[in-house]
């Protein structure tokens, strides 16, 4: 695997669904030919003017998986392109959930076009899976203030005792774990976790119960799309959500991104594994500052800089 080609070793971290906001990425479009090319490509893939969509879509529209997933991937790729144009290139990459597709592109595993096409298809299938839940609804919520192992133990115990459709979805930080489930399951979980000492129970801006068996039908259908895409071996280290470890082959990467749809994101494990490679810094290449915050919460003794806006990139 190739190392960094700059004096400093930067890890690229790419955010996932929930990081979206109206107007994201437009400042990158204004200053970068590479970003504009990606907007053109994204417009062709989704069949809509990507720049107009990001400028005008409101929060509820951007919350839809079929819209949010290719839109966030576009901004992730654009941020990485602007960083590279400034001489900042990755020595390793990781993406949180959806962010794995931009990470795979930055690592040379799949093309930008395939990244956008796969996330558009993934988003559509996941939105269909959410719609199929009907009145049961579903979503995700962050449990703050309880260690992840205790959250896992509680969820396993409650489900064994009869609480249906509640799952651990993201192990984000020592005291932040995300759970997925139906609307009824999340309502019951909120009561129980607060009784167990959780400081907060925060509903996330996502359309459904992702990273859970409730997405099994979407995963089954998505497998066919993955089979049509060529996955090369990473040219820089790529760290997987499913295992928390470095992936060494394209075939393994393809298997893991499929499993990821229904499996927990082991982000805290990824952060620890990345830190062991001793980079100089991490950059959050995409909208928002969620991953920068999680990096700090994890206690990693390496700085992490937000890099989804031009003003932030200019500070690096």
- On whether the CB atoms of residues 40 and 77 are closer than 8 A, the answer is no
Residues counted in the chain: 316
What is the sign of the dihedral through the CA atoms of 146, 152, 155 and 157? negative
Closest CA to 125 of 222, 228, 214: 222
Compute the distance between CA of residue 16 and CA of residue 95 in angstroms, rounded to an integer: 7
- Terminal-residue alpha carbon distance, the chain: 25
- Classify the phi-psi angles of 108: left when phi > 0, otherwise alpha if psi is within -120 to 50, otherwise beta: left
Report the alpha-carbon distance of residue 91 to residue 145 in Å, rounded.
Answer: 33
CA distances from 248 to 207, 226, 240 (A): 32, 18, 10
Q: Edge to edge, what strands does the sheet with 166-173 contain?
A: 166-173, 176-181, 139-144, 200-203
| 96 catalytic per annotation | no
| 243 burial via Cβ count (<10 Å: 0-12, 13-18, 19+) | middle
Q: Name the catalytic one among 97, 240, 263, 292.
A: 97
| Paired residues of 239 in beta bridges | 94, 246
65, 96, 211, 263: which is the annotated catalytic residue? Answer: 211
Rounded Cα–Cα distance for residues 192 and 195 (Å): 5
* 240 catalytically annotated: no
CA 120 from centre of chain:
14
Which residues belong to the active site? 97, 211
């Amino acid at each position: 695997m190739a190392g960094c080609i700059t004096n400093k070793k930067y890890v690229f971290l790419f955010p996932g669904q929930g990081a979206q906001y109206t107007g994201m990425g437009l400042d990158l479009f204004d200053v970068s030919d590479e970003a504009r090319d990606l907007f053109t490509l994204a417009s062709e893939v989704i069949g809509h003017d990507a720049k107009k969509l990001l400028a005008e879509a409101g929060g509820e529209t951007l919350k839809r998986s079929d819209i949010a997933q290719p839109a966030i991937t576009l901004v992730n790729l654009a941020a990485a392109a602007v960083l590279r144009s400034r001489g900042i290139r990755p020595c390793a990459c990781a993406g949180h959930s959806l962010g794995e597709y931009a990470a795979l592109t930055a690592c040379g595993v799949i093309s930008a076009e395939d990244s956008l096409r796969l996330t558009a298809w993934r988003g559509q299938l996941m939105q269909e899976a959410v719609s199929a839940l009907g009145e049961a609804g579903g979503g995700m919520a962050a449990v703050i203030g309880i260690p992840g192992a205790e959250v896992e133990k509680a969820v396993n115990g409650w489900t064994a005792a009869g609480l249906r459709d509640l799952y651990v979805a993201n192990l984000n930080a020592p005291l932040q774990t995300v759970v997925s489930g139906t609307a009824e399951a999340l309502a019951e979980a909120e009561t129980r976790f607060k009784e167990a000492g959780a400081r907060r129970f925060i509903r996330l801006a996502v359309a459904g119960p992702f990273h859970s068996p409730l997405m099994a039908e979407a995963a089954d259908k998505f497998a066919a799309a993955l089979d049509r895409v060529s996955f090369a071996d990473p040219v820089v280290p790529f760290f997987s959500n499913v295992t928390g470890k470095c992936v060494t082959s394209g075939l393994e990467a393809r298997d893991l991104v499929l499993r990821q749809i229904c499996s927990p994101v082991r982000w805290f494990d990824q952060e620890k594994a990345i830190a062991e490679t001793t980079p100089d810094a991490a950059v959050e290449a995409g909208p928002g500052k969620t991953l920068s915050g999680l990096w700090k919460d994890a206690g990693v003794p390496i700085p992490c800089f937000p890099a989804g806006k031009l003003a932030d990139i200019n500070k690096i």
